[in-house]
Amino acid sequence: MTLAFFVRHEAAIALGVVGSKSEKGKTLEKALNDPDEPVRGLCSCCTV
């Protein structure tokens, strides 16, 4: 299994956020490193 299977839903959504590249990176970084939110598998909307 790869790390991709454990990407937080919020992080996957953050990749589609409209805005600057640096803001997308900050949003993704925050979502991936949030100690208050457990890591979840990809939800059905994120899998193709």
The whole-angstrom separation of Cα 6 and Cα 29 is 14
The domain locations on the chain are: 3-46
Flag whether pLDDT at 6 surpasses 60.
no
The whole-angstrom separation of Cα 12 and Cα 21 is 15
Q: Output DSSP code: residue 41.
A: P
Give pLDDT, residue 26: 80
| Of 9 and 22, the one with more pLDDT | 22
Residue 48's pLDDT band, with cuts at 50, 70 and 90, is very low
Q: Output DSSP code: residue 12.
A: H
Over residues 10-45, the pLDDT tens digits come to: 666 666 656 677 777 787 777 777 777 665 555 556
Residue 1's pLDDT band, with cuts at 50, 70 and 90, is very low
